[in-house]
């Protein structure tokens, strides 16, 4: 029997699929296991465009960070950051605005272990263990306040994370708690799985996660997502399919207006 890779943190159950590792698989990463790959294949069977959707979501994150850097933001709080892949927030931010500070927050031990290794020796970026369901604890963490000056504008990144929060866990309260800690001029970057256009696909994906990952997946409509931006002003083009948010010139995904993208994305500023 082959031994487990030596990068697996103690206590990680590799036989049970995990949200962060499934996403890593969908992005073409290598830090995932057979259980995660099986779920990825199930999702792809439900929606053949699923891997392209994951890549589009990652590309949106990069565009949004570059936009925020261009708007003068030099500090970023990325909650639900996941397993490091090419185009990490600190890499994009550093290239766009040298000296930018980044705090990653995740609850998955594999994501934390790899982020810790990736960020070794980097004074301007850290990984903090934290759960988006407990925003007060994140805000109170000394490592967060050590890099993020909440008296100055910051970028709050909630990318592909809130659809793992149930209605009972009140995603609007989570966002509002984080929003209230931000200085005026700060930005919210958000993407979220949606029921728009293909509700049957959304419900099938929710069922896969519920049964195979033992994690909630709650896709939401545009009408349900817009209240998450309360206290912010949406930046043009508003809340749109993921590849359609300020695409790079010649982006074929953005040009394919008839394709299903499974999620909506938006960037908004706190006034």
Domain boundaries, the chain: 19-270
Structure tokens at 12: 């990680």
pLDDT in tens, 27-68: 998 888 999 999 999 999 999 999 999 999 999 999 999 999
Residue 257: its pLDDT value, please? 74
CB 80 within 8 A of CB 133: no
Decide which of 4 and 30 is more confident.
Answer: 30
Residue 1: its pLDDT value, please? 42
Mean pLDDT over residues 227-252, rounded?
Answer: 95
Q: Which residue has the tokens 């708007």?
A: 71
Mean pLDDT over residues 103-130, rounded?
Answer: 91
Residue 208, by phi and psi: left (phi above 0), alpha (psi -120 to 50) or beta?
alpha
Residues with Cβ within 8 Å of 156's Cβ and at least 6 positions away in sequence, in order, are 77, 79, 178, 179, 182, 186, 187, 188, 189
Distance CA 110, CA 84 (A): 10
CB 7 within 8 A of CB 198: no
Residue 68 backbone phi and psi in degrees, to 5 = -65, -40
Tell me the CA distances in angstroms from 218 to 39, 176, 215, 221, 224, one per residue in order.
Answer: 17, 19, 10, 10, 11
Residue 7: its pLDDT value, please? 66
pLDDT in tens, 12-30: 788 889 898 999 999 998 8
Class for the domain spanning 19-270: alpha beta
- Of 262, 264, 157, nearest to 206 by C-alpha is 262
Mean pLDDT over residues 220-230, rounded?
Answer: 97
Distance CA 87, CA 173 (A): 30
In percent, how much of the chain has pLDDT > 70?
97
Q: Which residue has the tokens 């592909």?
A: 160
Residue 13: its pLDDT value, please? 83
pTM above 0.85, yes or no: yes
Q: pLDDT class for 6, splitting at 50, 70, 90? A: low
The C-alpha angle 53, 114, 12, rounded to 5 degrees, equals: 90
Structure tokens at 117: 């290794």
In percent, how much of the chain has pLDDT > 90?
75
Residue 90: its pLDDT value, please? 94
């Amino acid at each position: 029997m082959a031994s487990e890779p030596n990068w697996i943190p103690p206590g990680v159950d590799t036989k049970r699929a995990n949200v962060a590792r499934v996403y890593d698989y969908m992005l073409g990463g290598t830090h995932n296991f057979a259980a995660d790959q099986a779920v990825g294949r199930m999702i792809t069977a439900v929606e053949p465009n699923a891997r392209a959707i994951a890549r589009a979501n990652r590309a949106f994150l990069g565009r949004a960070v570059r936009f925020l850097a261009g708007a003068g933001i030099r500090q970023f709080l990325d909650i639900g950051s996941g397993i490091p892949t090419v185009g990490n927030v600190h890499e994009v931010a550093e290239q766009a605005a040298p000296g930018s500070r980044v705090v990653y927050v995740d609850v998955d031990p594999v994501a934390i272990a790899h982020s810790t290794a990736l960020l070794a020796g980097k004074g301007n970026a850290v990984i903090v263990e934290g759960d988006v369901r407990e925003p007060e604890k994140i805000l109170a963490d000394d490592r967060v306040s050590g890099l993020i000056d909440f008296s100055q504008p910051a970028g709050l990144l909630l990318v592909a994370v809130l659809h793992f929060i149930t209605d009972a866990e009140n995603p609007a309260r989570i966002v509002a708690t984080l929003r209230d800690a931000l200085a005026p001029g700060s930005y919210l970057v958000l993407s979220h799985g949606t029921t728009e256009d293909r509700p049957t696909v959304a419900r099938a994906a929710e069922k896969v996660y519920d049964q195979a990952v033992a994690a909630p997946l709650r896709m939401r409509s545009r009408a349900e997502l817009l209240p998450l931006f309360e206290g912010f002003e949406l930046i043009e083009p508003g809340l749109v399919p993921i590849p359609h948010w300020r695409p790079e010139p010649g982006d074929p995904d953005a040009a394919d207006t008839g394709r299903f993208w499974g999620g909506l994305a938006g960037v908004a500023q706190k006034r």
